[in-house]
A and B are shown apart, each in its own frame.
Chain A
Amino acid sequence: MKPGMLKAYIHVIKLAYIFTLKQSMTDAFILFGIFVQPLLIAIMALFILGEQGDGVVIFIVVGSGLTGLWDSVLFQSGSSITRERWTGTLEVLVAMPTPLGVIVFGKNLAFVTQSLGSMIIAYTCASIIFGYPLSVESPSLFIVSIVLTVLSLVCMGLVLATLFVLNPDMQRWSNGLEFPVFILAGFLFPIAMLPQWTTPLSYILAPYWAAVALHMSSSGKPDILEISLPWAMMMLLGVLYLFLAFWLFRKMLFKARVDATLIGQ
């Protein structure tokens, strides 16, 4: 790839990011997923887990924020191509010289970063309304964990977006995929509570490693070696998701040319 091309792609990602962010702020359903649902889950978790002491509150803030992140990946990033189909803009995007994946990457980046707002809302609620003293134990490790979480989830969103187009039945299952990932990723309780056969499923999910890294850095002071495992897993899974998404994008666009349609299901 030529350096000029990379610059152009970054510019497209930036524009897709800004446009999606502005558009999302007018969609009440997106705002529900980012702000209302994680807040209500945080409130429930505070009642259910809160008696474990003040130390568990930051765990709840991070865990309920992660539910917002996953909802955003599942419902918004997952529909990022389908929504273009509904609005009839997909043909235009595909016909552009910029690869569709670059545009969708920018859109997904916006969906995932804006859903970080759910953590801020949960934090504000717990500290102001419920009066819990809150602090992130290892701020620098937490910030690195956040960055890696965002990148790995954006890549995961690219896979979901193409899968949902290639197989609309999978998208119809999205309602049924919300809580299972809350459970498998151990957002609000450890996966040790689950049967052992589910553990490999957790390990292939970037949200699980994101939860490990974020809980570790927010609730304790892990050494760099300890936290490097979830970081490495997020990077590894992010790269794997990216390759898978690249292959799925090619497959999707090839199928569209064979079927001569980008709209029909």
Chain B
Amino acid sequence: MSKVIANIRLFFQGAVLSYIALFAWFRPSQYIATKVVGPLAQILFFTLMGKFGTSGESADFYIIGNAIQITALSGIFGVTFSIAGDRWNGTLPYQFGTPANRMTMFLGRAAIHVIDGIFGVLIGFAWGVTLLGLDLSNTDPWALLLVIAVTTFSTSGLGLLLGSLSLITRNVMFINNTAYFLLLVLSGSNIAIDRLPPALQAISNFLPLTRGIASARAIIDGATFREVRPAMLEEIGIGIIYIMCGYALFRWIEVLAKRRGTLEAM
């Protein structure tokens, strides 16, 4: 019992401390630029381009797609930086040296970013409603919130996998940014999935966000949560798969690092 309590404590302490550590250099002004102004500009850019284009999608298509995709800022960048931060700050050897439960520590790195990601998406929707006239009158708010939470969870799963990769590469910014922009292309946020070539549709099917964005559009269109539940269960499954892959990579790096005596697998 005491072991369970110790793990729960470790999870929450690790979650809060890693988030605080990230913001030791990440100032509030940077937070506002990245999480408030940046998402607004991204939503505006793609919505205006969509209005200029004639692909047949409505402005709401781009507003909803980009608002949900904003969760990747926390899920990909935030989570990856939290894990990579241990390497940059030289705390990775202590982490590998501690007897603490690895899974608890690993998951703790993403916990606050999930909450932060949900908050970021809500900011995106607030911009959509106030500035771009997104109509939420047919929307079940709790169903939408649940969809946002599930999508943020699965995206953070991908973030945990990329975070583990950041321990074996110096090009973490390249990986993060490429993943972020690939999600913009392949998740259905700006291009309807059925317009993608079959090979890309298949890739899209294995990505987080794809089902989340489709479900959010359906909910805003008046669907109930029951109707999108199968897609949400799959989204959770995808998130778990990414987490397990990330964790397996993390443990493999630890074993390899200890065997080689490099501790950073580099």
Contacts and interface: CB of A to CB of B under 8 A. Distances in A.
Same complex = yes
Interface in A7-55: 28-29, 31-32, 36-37, 40-41, 43-45, 47-52
Contacts of A49: 49, 52-55
Contacts of A32: 173-174, 177-178
A72 to B, nearest CB: 14
A179 B174 contact: no
A36 B53 CA distance: 23
Given A31-B174, A189-B48, A178 B27 contact: no
B33 A45 contact: no
B174 A176 contact: no
A175 B45 contact: no
B167 interface: no
A184 to B, nearest CB: 10
Interface string B153-181: 00000000000000000110110011001
B29 interface: yes
A51 B55 contact: yes
A28 B174 contact: yes
Interface stretch (B183-191, B220-228, B253-261): B183-191
A41 B190 CA distance: 11
Nearest 4 interchain pairs by C-beta: A176-B33, A179-B41, A28-B174, A189-B52
A36 B55 contact: no
Interface in A176-220: 176-180, 182-183, 188-190, 193-194
Contacts of A188: 45, 49, 52
A174 B195 CA distance: 34
A259 interface: no
A51 B27 CA distance: 43
Interface residues of B, number: 37
Interface string B44-65: 1110111111111100000000
- Size category of the A interface is 20 to 34
A178 B73 CA distance: 15
Interface of A is mostly: helix
27 contacts: A28-B170, A28-B173, A28-B174, A32-B173, A40-B184, A41-B181, A44-B46, A44-B185, A47-B190, A48-B46, A48-B49, A48-B50, A49-B49, A49-B54, A50-B53, A172-B29, A172-B33, A174-B33, A175-B38, A176-B32, A179-B44, A179-B45, A183-B45, A188-B49, A190-B52, A193-B51, A194-B48
B53 A48 contact: yes
Contact of B55 (A28, A47, A169, A176): A47
A180 B36 CA distance: 13
Given A169-B29, A176-B38, A193-B48, A44 B177 contact: no
A173 interface: yes
A51 B192 CA distance: 14
A176 B41 contact: yes
Nearest to A194: B48
Given A48-B49, A49-B53, A182-B45, A175 B34 contact: yes
Nearest to A173: B33
A28 B175 CA distance: 9
A209 B42 CA distance: 22
B161 to A, nearest CB: 18
A52 B33 contact: no
B37 interface: yes
B133 to A, nearest CB: 14
Contacts of A31: 174
B30 interface: yes
B194 to A, nearest CB: 12
B182 interface: yes
A168 B36 CA distance: 19
A40 B185 contact: yes
A32 B180 CA distance: 12
Contacts of A52: 53-54
